[in-house]
Amino acid sequence: MERTLAVANGTRLCIDEIGSAGIPLIVHLEGHMAQLISTPRSYAERLAECGYRVVRGDNRDVGGSDRFPDAAYTLTDMVEDVHGLIAELGGPALVCGRSMGGAIAQLLALTHPEDVSGLGLFFTFAKERDSRTPGPVAQAPFHDEASFLAWERQSLPTIAGSGYPYPPEYVTWLATTMWGRGVDWSGFERQRLAMGAQPPWAGRLGDIAVPTVIVHGDEDPVVPVESGRRLAELIPGADLRVVPGMGHQQPPELDEFFVEATLATAGH
């Protein structure tokens, strides 16, 4: 069921949750431009069947969450959104992040370790060098639902691995559902600039002291698999799982694999 929560810093976040309060919590953080529907519901339902309260959320500036048209922010501000969300839901939580969401999850574990009981870092990275040079805001490649659908049909298949190509009907469903929930190109750009403006944090990852599982595809064209291997070197005791033929994606065909990886962050 979807609902909107106002968290401590004032941001209103749209979440979808399965399960009730009082049972262990899993929070899923999405990547750049992605909405909560990008995490397969079938995977979330399987986690719920294992006895967890499963929350998928829209980051600020996408989907049903607040827009920040006049604000320049960094990933640190997005971390505070999640910190407030976990406080509202009742933490700590197993926190799973995809791509940009995995970066936010790492920073949450470093900034608010009391919020995080385990980390699932899926096709993500740690920033090692300072690159805080503001980039220009790109012009939107779409202007209405039809052009957004055409853009997604062209771009989304390029990030899938050869073992898990996106079915055309899935791309159509994802794009039309995203559009209906709220798509804002300027919000996408603010998220991109937030990643660029964030100071490096890779050198702090040795302080993470919770069970951590890293999942990365060996055909990821967005965040190369070397980034996952580097994370495994930097986080003490991290468990790296490389998936042959997977790109920058979480295919529903791998629900059982991702469920097992997620539950491993709780020591199962």
pLDDT value of position 135: 67
Close Cβ partners of 201 (under 8 Å, ≥ 6 residues apart): 106, 107, 110, 126, 127
pTM of the predicted model as reported, rounded to 2 decimal places: 0.96
Phi, psi (degrees; rounded to nearest 5) at 241 = -125, 110
pLDDT in tens, 57-87: 999 999 999 999 988 899 999 999 999 999 9
Percentage of the chain exceeding pLDDT 90? 91
Two tokens, residue 138 = 């790109």
Would you tell me which CATH number, out of the four given (1.10.10.10, 1.20.140.10, 3.40.50.1820, 3.30.70.20), belongs to the domain 2-264? 3.40.50.1820
pLDDT in tens, 228-245: 999 999 999 999 999 999
| Distance of alpha carbon 178 from alpha carbon 65, whole angstroms | 13
pLDDT in tens, 91-117: 899 999 999 999 999 999 999 999 999
pLDDT in tens, 136-145: 677 899 999 9
Burial grade of 136 (CB within 10 A; 0-12, 13-18, 19 or more): exposed
pLDDT in tens, 171-193: 999 999 999 999 999 999 999 99
